[in-house]
Amino acid sequence: MAVPPVRAAVVAEPLPDQPLLSIIIPVLNEADCLDQTLTDLVQRSWVMHHCEIIVSDGGSDDGSLEIAQRHPCRIVRSGAGRARQMNAASSAAQGKTLLFLHADSRLPQDFGDLIDTSLSWGFFRIRLSGNGLAYRIIEAAINLRTRVSRVAGGDQGLFFERHFFESLDGYPRIPLMEDIAISKKARRLAVPLVIESAITSSSRRWQQQGIVKTVLLMWSLRLAFWLGVNPERLHRIYYPQRG
């Protein structure tokens, strides 16, 4: 699998010599949540005995790298772009299975007992961090949609057996919807394992931009992607501040 050259460094110990699982966290200016996420992971005995944690940075300038360096993880540096960052980290990973985790998401406590590293791929049910009936309705709709379609978003903790991931040629080199695109490719080859224990994903976008506006934006972007709109254009809509 061809990926851009990267620089990787082990920045702290301990790390297992032969990890079962590589937890890959792509970041770009995630200082507000990264410390809490890494602290949550390294406090789990199963993670420290069976996993490696890789923070894949796309050029943060807010202290995210300094935060990562305080934890037992590895740092991979690449150009910005979630797909590029995840592919770069996967090329440096040593685990049998690759788990891609958003910087503002929390894995369920028992996730180590639930991931079957012999299976090709899978994802978790999602629970949003916000309180209120609206968030329960949104997460229920997401879980129903992903179970039926077998297409998951990146905030659902997509994981892949290494060789299966390489057979997919990694994440498509597109600036948005890379998680949707790889799910569609993977489902043609293998049925995913859907883990019932939910991953907790931050609802900060809904809280900052409004629930109705965010739901309409996300559904319209998915529809546009399905209709063949260029992901570059969709990226400019989703991240107007970066355009």
The CATH number of whichever domain residue 117 belongs to comes to 3.90.550.10
Measure the CA–CA gap between 67 and 31, rounded to whole angstroms.
7
Residue 11: pLDDT over 80: no
Could you tell me if residue 2 is inside a domain? Answer: no
> Before 108, cis peptide (omega within 30)?
no
195 C-beta neighbours (distance < 10 Å), count:
21
Number of domains observed in the structure of the chain: 1
| Banded pLDDT at 241 (limits 50, 70, 90) | low
Question: What is the mean predicted confidence (pLDDT) over 198-203?
Answer: 95
Question: What is the mean predicted confidence (pLDDT) over 231-237?
Answer: 81
Could you tell me if residue 211 is inside a domain? Answer: no
Q: Note whether 75 and 69 are within 8 A (CB).
A: yes
Could you tell me if residue 173 is inside a domain? Answer: yes
Measure the CA–CA gap between 72 and 134, rounded to whole angstroms.
37
| Banded pLDDT at 242 (limits 50, 70, 90) | low
Question: What is the mean predicted confidence (pLDDT) over 194-204?
Answer: 94
Residue 26: pLDDT over 50: yes
Q: Which H or E element spans position 80?
A: none
* Angle between helix 82-92 and 178-187 (nearest 10): 60
Question: What is the mean predicted confidence (pLDDT) over 73-99?
Answer: 96
Residue 6: pLDDT over 60: no
Compute the mean pLDDT over every residue in the chain, rounded to the nearest whole number.
89
Give me the domain span that covers residue 47.
7-204
Lookup: tokens for 48: 């420290």
Residue 16: pLDDT over 90: no
Lookup: tokens for 30: 């995630």
Tens digits of residue pLDDT in 128-160: 998 999 999 999 999 999 999 999 999 999 999
Residue 240: pLDDT over 80: no
Could you tell me if residue 231 is inside a domain? Answer: no
37 C-beta neighbours (distance < 10 Å), count:
25
Residue 5: pLDDT over 80: no
Q: Return the percentage of the chain with pLDDT > 90, whole number.
A: 74
Could you tell me if residue 105 is inside a domain? Answer: yes
The residue type of 204 is R
Could you tell me if residue 115 is inside a domain? Answer: yes
Question: What is the mean predicted confidence (pLDDT) over 113-129?
Answer: 95
Tens digits of residue pLDDT in 155-187: 999 999 999 999 999 999 999 999 999 999 999
